[in-house]
């Protein structure tokens, strides 16, 4: 179910109204309310996600290192090295 959160003033660009500032206390209450809606991962999920990310990063590092080594050899072959 979608809820329309836009005000009527947002639909009329010709009207220029100054936005009200949110007080720090209201902002904090809104942040806490939103954080209560978050579905936090379990410890097992967190370990799984972390492992997948670390493996992916290691694979990407290996690929970049491989390309770097190939390009280095190519540049040395073309331009000569000392």
- 35-50 pLDDT, tens per residue? 999 999 999 999 999 9
Q: Is-contact 49 41, C-beta < 8 A? A: yes
As given in the structure block, the two tokens for residue 46 are 């967190």
Task: With respect to residue 30, please indicate whether it lies within any of the assigned structural domains.
Answer: no
Please tell me what DSSP assigns to residue 13. Answer: T
How many domains are there within the chain?
1
Q: Is the pLDDT of residue 65 over 90?
A: yes
- State the Cα–Cα distance between residues 30 and 82, nearest whole angstrom: 64
Task: With respect to residue 1, please indicate whether it lies within any of the assigned structural domains.
Answer: no
Across the range 39-67, mean pLDDT stands at 97
Residue 30's nearest CA partner among 50, 67, 52, 5 is 5
Task: With respect to residue 3, please indicate whether it lies within any of the assigned structural domains.
Answer: no
Sign of CA pseudo-dihedral 67, 70, 75, 76: positive
Task: With respect to residue 47, please indicate whether it lies within any of the assigned structural domains.
Answer: yes
pLDDT, tens digit, 9 for 90 and up, residues 5-36: 666 555 565 567 777 888 999 999 999 999 99
User: Domain of 54?
Assistant: 41-82
Q: Is the pLDDT of residue 1 over 70?
A: no
């Amino acid at each position: 179910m979608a809820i329309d959160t836009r005000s009527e003033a947002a639909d009329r660009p010709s009207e220029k109204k100054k936005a009200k500032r949110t007080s720090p206390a209201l902002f904090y209450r809104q942040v806490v309310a939103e954080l209560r809606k978050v579905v936090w991962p379990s410890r097992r999920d967190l370990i799984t996600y972390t492992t997948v990310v670390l493996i992916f990063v290691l694979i990407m590092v290996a690929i970049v290192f491989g390309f770097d080594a190939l390009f280095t050899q190519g540049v040395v072959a073309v331009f000569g090295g000392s």
